[in-house]
Amino acid sequence: MKNVLSVLALVALVAFAGCHNKRADQVKTPDGAAVAAQADVVQPAVRKLSVDLHVMSQCPYGVQAENILIPIAEELRDNIDLKIHFVGDEVEAGVPESLHGETEVKADLLQICTGKHQPEFMFGMIICMNQNPDEIPANFDSCAVELKMPVETVRACADGPEGKILLLESFKYSDEKGVKGSPTIFIDGTEYEGLPTVLGLLRGLCEKIGDPAPETCASLPPPVSIQLTVITDSRCPDCAKFVEVAPAQIRKMFPGVETVVLDYMTDEGKEAYKVLAKTPFRFLPAFLFEKKVQEDPAFAQIAAYMMEVGEQLLLNFDASFDPEAEICDNGTDDDGNGKADCKDDSCKGTLFCAVEKPKKLEVFVMSQCPYGAEAILSMREVLEAFGRDIDFSIRFLASEPFAGQFQSLHGPAEVAEDMRQLCAMKYYAKGRKYLDYLYCRAADFQSEEWEKCATGGIRAEVIRKCAEGDMGRKLLSADVAYGEKLRINGSPTWIVNNREVFNGVSPADIQKGFCKKNGTLKACETPLSDKAGVPAGACGN
């Protein structure tokens, strides 16, 4: 199966992956107090470019960023001033905490204290420790020996109150800068969003350094000049957002790209589209590169998502609009078969053409999505209020690249649980008994001990036999096909009365969406909880 790239995945390719802190959604206004890991140094007569790297010492992505930026900083020492800051929390007064536990806090302390008391060794210490990231912080002593660095003052700092004060100040500074994860890089106060490679960072830094350019910058290869042809369709309501976002992200990866946007509804657009017509790659928007893109060093980042189409390379994107197919809601015979909209067989099964069914409520979820799990738990209150006035059903989101083989966002364990829940729904539908199992699993959706939820007449051996056999695969396959037909890709997604989509997690959100089409029901007047155990959101497939 070929890899398919989504907009979110494309964004991720041109930025460092990250280790995200618990307070990732909090953004505060900086007060200007920059607490760096290194000791104070005398400022040079000529201003250097400030580069701030915010990391967690045991985050693999932070380690990657350090291993790229520190050698660059040493090579461009006359032009840039690199400072290392740490990302973490103060769980209680005077107690630092970090995502990867006590060992990460200890490593942070050793590194920040090195910066304070032996600043000339700090970068060398970080690079040395990063050579064996699984041994951080235990490899501090061996690195100190290798670097011939005195450790007495560093140890005293790391083991005493001074280190905690320094580290908590660094945490605070990262927090005030709005840092959400490790690594985060600022160049002269602006967050770096370019390609996470040596060449990408060098280009970003050299652009800011300006003239006179140091030899390293002057010798950088110029960007490869590449033409990108984007084919879109003015009839496609979802294409515009892709065409707006994707080229900007691609330009960060390939700074020499020149983009031409063509509309399928023009003669030029139809001509360019011929290479894709009647093929599995016929969907728009399409991103076609000239093969010269392979000469750019950044091509390796995206090669897995490229495929040869004629004399061009197509970015295998998550497009879904077929310009030669019938559009089911525009009153036009788009495919020229004499049948327009819902009269065309290809429109059968779409929401626009579906028969309205009052009081029907469906939800599409992933069993290990926190938002989907919370939506299932919210249904307890909703169903208590509405009872049999809701015809309720649950569907599961996944993909089936090969017959009987499934993939889901949260991995194989989620696929297995999807099938167990489908089997519970099949064999314990009477009185909605299956909900006992689903509520139990949603309350602890990451637990592998699913059998403890098979109680009160629900038998674990029945669920196991079904889920691990052909029946489980058939049930999930049907849901996958149904979700793909309706183009549902977010957990949770609700469909009310077989026609209208809405989103929500809390009981009040679900009630509002359902009552928009069924407002005469008495329970629509019953106040339901407007809070959920997680904030509003969704897991995208």
Q: What is the pLDDT of residues 230-271, one digit of tens each?
A: 999 999 988 998 898 888 889 888 999 999 999 999 999 999
Q: Reply yes or no on whether the pLDDT at 44 is more than 60.
A: no
> Do the domain assignments include residue 313?
no
pLDDT for position 503: 93
pLDDT for position 21: 63
pLDDT confidence tier of residue 33, bands split at 50, 70 and 90: very low
pLDDT for position 146: 96
pLDDT confidence tier of residue 31, bands split at 50, 70 and 90: very low
For 63-121, the pLDDT digits (tens) are: 999 999 999 999 999 999 999 999 999 988 999 999 888 999 999 999 999 999 999 99
Of 195, 219, 246, the last residue of a domain is 195
pLDDT for position 165: 96
In the block, tokens 């889920």 appear at 467
Query: Number of C-alpha atoms within 13 angstroms, CB side, residue 399?
Result: 16
For 185-232, the pLDDT digits (tens) are: 999 999 998 887 898 899 999 989 988 889 999 999 889 999 999 999
520: left (phi over 0), alpha (psi -120 to 50) or beta: alpha
Across 353-372, b (16+ Cβ under 10 Å) vs e yields: bbeeeebbbbbbbbbbbbbb
Q: Which residues pair with 315 in a beta bridge?
A: 306
pLDDT for position 485: 85
> Do the domain assignments include residue 241?
no
Helix (H) or strand (E) holding 315: strand 312-315
Q: Which residues constitute the domain of residue 402? A: 360-540
Q: Which of helix, strand or coil describes residue 44?
A: coil
Question: How far is Cα 369 from Cα 146, in angstroms, rounded to an integer?
Answer: 46
Residue type at position 28: K
pLDDT for position 479: 96
pLDDT for position 380: 97
Q: What CATH number corresponds to the domain at position 48?
A: 3.40.30.10
Q: Which of helix, strand or coil describes residue 232?
A: strand
> Do the domain assignments include residue 315?
no
pLDDT for position 43: 43
> Do the domain assignments include residue 201?
no
Burial label for 23, CB within 10 Å (0-12, 13-18, 19+), is: middle
Question: Mean pLDDT score of the chain, rounded to an integer?
Answer: 89
Phi, psi values for residue 25, rounded to 5° = -95, 0
Residue type at position 388: R
Can you spell out the DSSP letters for 432-465? GTHHHHHHHHHHTTT-S-GGGG--TT--HHHHHH
In this prediction the pTM is: 0.63
Of 195, 223, 253, the last residue of a domain is 195
**What is the token pair recorded at 400?**
């089936």
> Do the domain assignments include residue 209?
no
Helix (H) or strand (E) holding 494: strand 493-496
pLDDT confidence tier of residue 475, bands split at 50, 70 and 90: very high
Query: Are 82 and 215 in contact, with CB atoms under 8 Å apart?
Result: no
> Do the domain assignments include residue 168?
yes
pLDDT for position 35: 34
**Measured between alpha carbons, how far is residue 301 from residues 18, 40, 223, 254, 426 in Å?**
17, 38, 15, 11, 44
**Measured between alpha carbons, how far is residue 108 from residues 58, 184, 227 in Å?**
9, 16, 45
Contacts of 96 (CB under 8 A, 6+ apart): 88, 89, 90, 105, 108, 109, 164, 167, 168, 171
**Measured between alpha carbons, how far is residue 383 from residues 92, 421, 492 in Å?**
41, 18, 17
Of 195, 225, 249, the last residue of a domain is 195
> Do the domain assignments include residue 187?
yes
Question: How far is Cα 405 from Cα 407, in angstroms, rounded to an integer?
Answer: 7
Domain count, the chain: 2
pLDDT for position 25: 35
> Do the domain assignments include residue 490?
yes
Residue 21 Cα to chain centre, angstroms: 15
| Secondary-structure breakdown of the chain: helix, strand, coil percentages, each rounded to the nearest 5 | 45, 15, 40
In terms of DSSP H, where are the helices of 210-336? 215-218, 239-253, 267-273, 299-302
Query: Number of C-alpha atoms within 13 angstroms, CB side, residue 93?
Result: 0
**Is 376 or 320 the better-scoring residue by pLDDT?**
376
